């Protein structure tokens, strides 16, 4: 059995051109998750799946020993392409074994650290889960667009300290077996366990302003 960290990065981001190698706190964006996966003891191999020669060149300059480049097909690197499509493409072309464990990691979550990956994997094994994901605890109250409360009763508004909150996916890391991914064509399957990361890791890189926010968070929490 092999534990594979898989980080899909396209070159064609419309909101932020070449977003995945845009500098953040002195390093290209994808460096942070590549380094976290490379440093995680439980990870055997880190695959950066990209359609961009510029991204490929940048990643190879990281000199991270576990990191390899996978040249993803153009058909699965479009704006409309799902993450699962490139996962399945790689699994098929790399001829992975059914029992291999597949760690999907998103480069837009640079606050992910090696210890988070290791703790997620430990929880996944201890709970004998089929798949696992990272998330953060949020105590915000959510409403639908048509004015209906989603996660609380506004007539009995709880105090924050009494409200247990809900888990929000932070998109940082998911674990599943290759067998499950092929069968269900999804990053998650069956019994799912959740590993809670610090609240500040809810931030992801989607818009230009996110770089400003997350850069400060990287600086503040780099030694956590």
Kindly indicate the confidence band of residue 223, based on its pLDDT and cuts at 50, 70 and 90. confident
Task: Please state the domain extents for the chain.
Answer: 3-135+169-221
pLDDT attached to residue 116: 98
Task: Tell me the pLDDT tens digit for each residue of 161-181.
Answer: 888 999 999 999 999 999 999
According to DSSP, the residues that pair with 9 across neighbouring strands are 50
pLDDT attached to residue 17: 79
- Of the candidate CATH numbers 1.20.1440.20, 3.90.550.10, 3.60.20.10, 1.20.1280.290, the domain formed by 3-135+169-221 belongs to 3.90.550.10
Task: Tell me the pLDDT tens digit for each residue of 88-120.
Answer: 999 999 999 999 999 999 999 999 999 999 999
10 part of the active site: no
Task: Tell me the pLDDT tens digit for each residue of 130-151.
Answer: 999 999 999 999 999 999 999 9
Distance separating alpha carbons of residues 47 and 67, to the nearest angstrom: 6
Whether pTM exceeds 0.85: yes
Among residues 10, 72, 93, 157, the one annotated as catalytic is: 157
């Amino acid at each position: 059995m092999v534990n594979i960290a898989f980080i899909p990065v396209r070159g064609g981001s419309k909101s932020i051109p070449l977003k995945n190698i845009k500098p953040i706190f002195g390093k290209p964006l994808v460096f942070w998750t590549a380094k976290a996966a490379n440093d995680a003891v439980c990870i055997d191999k880190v695959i950066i799946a990209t359609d961009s020669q510029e991204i490929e060149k940048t990643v190879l300059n990281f000199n991270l020993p576990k990191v390899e480049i996978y040249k993803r097909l153009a058909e699965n690197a479009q704006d409309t392409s799902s993450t699962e499509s490139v996962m399945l493409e790689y699994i098929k072309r790399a001829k992975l074994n059914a029992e291999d464990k597949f760690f999907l990691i998103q480069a837009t979550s640079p606050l992910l650290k090696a210890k988070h990956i290791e703790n997620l994997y430990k929880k996944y094994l201890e709970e004998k889960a089929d798949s696992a994901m990272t998330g953060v605890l949020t105590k915000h109250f959510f409403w639908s667009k048509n004015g209906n409360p989603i996660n609380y009763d506004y007539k009995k508004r709880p105090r924050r300290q009494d409200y247990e909150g809900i888990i929000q996916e932070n998109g940082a890391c998911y674990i599943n077996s290759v067998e499950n991914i092929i069968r269900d064509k999804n990053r998650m399957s069956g019994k799912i366990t959740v590993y809670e990361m610090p609240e500040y890791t809810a931030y992801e890189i989607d818009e230009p302003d996110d770089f400003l926010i997350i850069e400060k968070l990287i600086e503040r929490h780099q030694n956590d």
